[in-house]
Amino acid sequence: MSASAQLWDDRPCELGEGPLWHPLRETLFWFDITGRRMLARGPEGTAEWRFDEMHSAAGWIDRDTLLVASETGLWRLSLPDGGRERLCTLEADRPDTRSNDGRADPMGGFWIGTMGKAAEPGAGAIWRWHRGALRRLFAPLTIPNAISFTPDGRWAHFTDTPRRQVMRVPLDPEGWPAAAAEVFLDLTAEGLNPDGAVVDAEGVLWLAQWGAGRVAAYGPDGRFLRAVTVAAPHASCPAFGGPELGTLFCTTALEGMSAAARAACPAAGGTFALAGAGRGQPEHRIA
């Protein structure tokens, strides 16, 4: 069973990623990583912030402040004036890497993946920022993605996309991994590439699948439920937002598409939306 999301924002992203629904602003923020910009659309219209380095993911701190991840650090970003204040460095001594997928956790922390700028095998890791400390959680990884959390705060998900397995790991009361990660989904036999993910209020994992043009939904037991298709081959990351968190958004990417493929998919790189696909859990505030 599948449904189709419609093009919601037609600004093309070379590498769309990191959609975040800000609950106080009722605005969706997302990134064009290699385009070095952050985009937004909400009641006040559309907006765009440009940076001098690649940024990829964010969490909300208050109405006017985001935590944003870049290739060199984690920053407080002032939305009104675009000013940044660095919270910590993130592999700043490694010019070959950049940030990738990230999301705030239920305990007020922020998980962020890093990867090689040319997706060099094993060059990446997953880190967690919490109450002023940055700690590396998992390494070596190649393309960390699918960082997401169950509504009860007991489990985190992540993937290393080339391995085609989505992992899950139990969390302690402070939000740190409490045991070794285990396989939650194995997509090897289907040849599917797991990218960004979000878990809804019912515990359903919504997983963007790079190259497949869809976001697939899997129940808490790992069973495939349904899929939402997008008119772009490279679905990159989903998020829930809109009224009562009832709209599924998904970023896409032009990266890796030939000129002919881009001409055949004019909506590729845009951001898509489908109302009624499910009901999201609110994006957690960073403490």
Catalytic site positions? 195
User: Quick check: 37 and 48 in contact, CB under 8 A?
Assistant: yes
Cβ(40)–Cβ(47) below 8 Å: yes
Q: What share of the chain is helix, strand, coil (3-state, %, to 5)?
A: 5, 55, 40
Residue 118 token pair: 């040319």
Sign, CA torsion 38/14/145/156: positive
The sign of the CA dihedral 243, 196, 156, 2 is positive
Contact 86, 73 (CB under 8 A): yes
DSSP for 1-36? -EEE-EEEE----TBEEEEEEETTTTEEEEEETTTT
- Does an H or E element contain 50, and which? strand 45-50
